[in-house]
């Protein structure tokens, strides 16, 4: 047992994991959570680690991206997964839970742990609270709906320009499912023979008018009562542009200027696709953040030439979400560059999803434990699920919260035999998952 004491703020997915990890390894933890005093509008129960929407922690298939994240989390002694296992409900390949039992059991175990002191309270200044509770380190794991006093402290102390309160996500499509015969590479204003990063889907007037008409009338997700949708003019949802007028998108993200077709003619409008990752395994629809329901996104975005059969790695959305520009504010252990005693974990670091957030709680706690023990912190291999998430948030220039997906892992070079052994996408994922497990097995001896 060390004499070091750690303050964990927020008993959500990440905070519960971090507190449990440290406490189970002999570190004394003060766990501060506001929800027993007041719930935010997305929360319904007072217990910890509430799953505010779906009750699914996604796939158990070891060859899926979520499956490999689970393998790594289990090796780190994940509380979330251990409790999910005993409160699970049948859900095929997925790990779904009875959300009430799940949260009740997590809360019970955290309260019962001899090294954890649970404190009901709302954190404002985390550094002051750390000193008040006689701790030497603090992990902020307050999630996408961090309360106002703490948000205000972050803005004042970490810098307003690197903290985001709103998330407008554009959809991402799987590169293997595009019809390249209808698409062409060209960067705006670059000559056609110059190397280009953007893949373009051109539309003629008829296609554009039809597309924009469908965007305007498609079903939208209504804002939740805690979301006051005030959009930045430079980041308008594509469907809002369509509602403003038929030409708005054509003078914004769909403008054709500088994007001549290979025959030199100018299309009426263009949808630009940008590589999501170095491997080019996925493409982001540039400027296509949207309020459309998931079902409508699939229907309407498949009207884009070349995307008729597209498979969506994730769909677009607009929702309240507090998160940091981790690349600028934190080091690779998710510790503040400005306050060495302060770390962040969970969705606030720029990942998205229950499992991803929980895995970041484990990651940050494991790095902090090394620090407490006087050992050098570890550099997690990017081939692993957790390493890929860390690498993503620490390198992405324009922070966009992401789920775990194979596009975050380094590309797999397939041999001729492997290419022939089955559907390309499936083989590639299975090879990446196998490599992740192998790399993690070697790496975990250091943990």
Ligand X SMILES: Cc1cc2nc3c(=O)[nH]c(=O)nc-3n(C[C@H](O)[C@H](O)[C@H](O)COP(=O)(O)OP(=O)(O)OC[C@H]3O[C@@H](n4cnc5c(N)ncnc54)[C@H](O)[C@@H]3O)c2cc1C
- The correct pick among 67, 237, 305, 353 for binding ligand X (CB under 6 A) is 353
Residue 352 within binding range of ligand X, rule CB under 6 A? yes
- State whether residue 291 is helix, strand or coil: coil
Residue 139 within binding range of ligand X, rule CB under 6 A? no
Q: How far is the CB of 52 from ligand X (least distance, A)?
A: 5
Nearest to 352 by CA among 385, 372, 323, 373: 323
Residues 143 and 171 sit within 8 Å (Cβ to Cβ): no
Measured from the CB atom, the residue of 14 and 172 that comes closer to ligand X is 14
- Paired strand residues for 282: 174
The enclosing H or E element of 128 equals helix 126-132
Structure-token pair, residue 238? 């594509």
Residues 52-71 that bind ligand X (CB under 6 A): 52-54
- The correct pick among 354, 363, 380, 443 for binding ligand X (CB under 6 A) is 354
Nearest 5°: the CA angle 334, 336, 339 is 145
Q: How far is the CB of 47 from ligand X (least distance, A)?
A: 9
- State whether residue 359 is helix, strand or coil: helix
Residues 210 and 303 sit within 8 Å (Cβ to Cβ): yes
Measured from the CB atom, the residue of 17 and 383 that comes closer to ligand X is 17
Measured from the CB atom, the residue of 175 and 396 that comes closer to ligand X is 396
Measured from the CB atom, the residue of 212 and 348 that comes closer to ligand X is 348
Measured from the CB atom, the residue of 20 and 354 that comes closer to ligand X is 354
Residue 22 within binding range of ligand X, rule CB under 6 A? no
The number of residues that bind ligand X (CB under 6 A) is 32
Structure-token pair, residue 250? 């054509």
Residue 318 within binding range of ligand X, rule CB under 6 A? no
Please report, to the nearest 10 degrees, the dihedral formed by the alpha carbons of residues 68, 73, 79, 85 taken in order. Answer: 20
Measured from the CB atom, the residue of 169 and 300 that comes closer to ligand X is 169
Q: How far is the CB of 82 from ligand X (least distance, A)?
A: 16
Which phi-psi region, left, alpha or beta, contains residue 263 (left: φ > 0; alpha: ψ -120 to 50)?
alpha
- Locate tokens 């309160």: which residue? 165
Q: Stretches 48-56, 200-208, 373-381, 429-437: which one binds ligand X (CB under 6 A)?
A: 48-56
Residue 79 within binding range of ligand X, rule CB under 6 A? no
**What DSSP character marks residue 158?**
H
Residue 143 within binding range of ligand X, rule CB under 6 A? yes
Residue 147 within binding range of ligand X, rule CB under 6 A? yes
Q: What share of the chain is helix, strand, coil (3-state, %, to 5)?
A: 40, 20, 45
Residue 122 within binding range of ligand X, rule CB under 6 A? yes
Measured from the CB atom, the residue of 59 and 146 that comes closer to ligand X is 146
Residues 292 and 219 sit within 8 Å (Cβ to Cβ): yes
Interface with ligand X by CB under 6 A: which residues? Answer: 9-15, 32-35, 42, 52-54, 122-123, 141-147, 150, 346-348, 352-354, 357
């Amino acid at each position: 047992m060390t004499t070091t004491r750690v303050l964990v703020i927020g008993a959500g997915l990440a905070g519960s994991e971090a507190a449990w990890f440290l406490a189970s390894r002999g570190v004394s933890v003060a766990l501060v959570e506001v929800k027993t005093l007041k719930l935010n509008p997305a929360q319904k129960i007072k217990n910890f680690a509430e799953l505010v929407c779906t009750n699914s922690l996604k796939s158990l298939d070891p060859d899926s991206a979520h499956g490999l994240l689970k393998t790594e989390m289990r090796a780190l002694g994940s509380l979330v997964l251990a409790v999910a296992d005993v409160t699970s409900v049948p859900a095929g390949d997925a790990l779904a839970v009875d959300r009430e039992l799940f949260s009740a059991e997590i809360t019970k175990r955290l309260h019962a742990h001899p090294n954890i002191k649970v404190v009901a309270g709302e954190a404002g200044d985390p550094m002051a609270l750390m000193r008040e509770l006689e701790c030497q380190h603090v992990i902020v794991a307050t999630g996408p709906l961090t309360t106002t006093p703490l948000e205000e402290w972050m803005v004042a102390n970490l810098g307003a320009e690197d903290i985001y309160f709103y998330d407008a996500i554009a959809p991402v499509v799987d590169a293997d499912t595009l019809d390249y015969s209808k698409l062409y590479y060209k960067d705006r204003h670059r000559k056609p023979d110059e190397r280009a990063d953007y893949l373009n889907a051109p539309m003629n007037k008829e296609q554009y008018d039809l597309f924009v008409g469908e965007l305007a009338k498609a079903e939208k997700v209504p804002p939740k009562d805690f979301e006051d949708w005030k959009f930045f003019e430079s980041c308008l949802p594509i469907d809002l542009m369509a509602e403003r007028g038929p030409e708005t998108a054509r003078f914004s993200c769909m403008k054709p200027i500088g994007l001549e077709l290979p025959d030199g003619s100018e299309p009426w409008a263009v949808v630009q696709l940008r590589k999501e990752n170095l491997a080019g395994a996925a493409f982001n629809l540039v400027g296509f953040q949207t309020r459309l329901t998931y079902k409508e996104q699939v229907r309407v975005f498949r009207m884009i030439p070349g995307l008729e059969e597209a498979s969506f790695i994730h769909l677009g959305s607009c929702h309240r979400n507090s998160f940091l520009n981790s690349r600028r504010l934190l080091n690779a252990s998710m510790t503040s560059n400005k306050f060495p005693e302060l770390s962040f974990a969970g969705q606030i670091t720029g990942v998205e999803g229950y499992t991803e957030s929980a895995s970041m709680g484990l990651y940050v706690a494991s790095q902090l434990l090394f620090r407490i023990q006087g050992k050098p912190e570890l550099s997690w291999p990017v081939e692993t699920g957790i390493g890929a998430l860390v690498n993503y948030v620490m390198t992405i220039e324009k922070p966009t919260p992401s789920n775990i997906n194979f596009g975050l892992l380094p590309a797999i070079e397939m041999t001729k035999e492997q290419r022939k052994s089955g559907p390309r996408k499936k083989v590639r994922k299975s090879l990446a998952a196998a490599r992740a497990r192998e790399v993690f097995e070697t790496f975990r001896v250091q943990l």
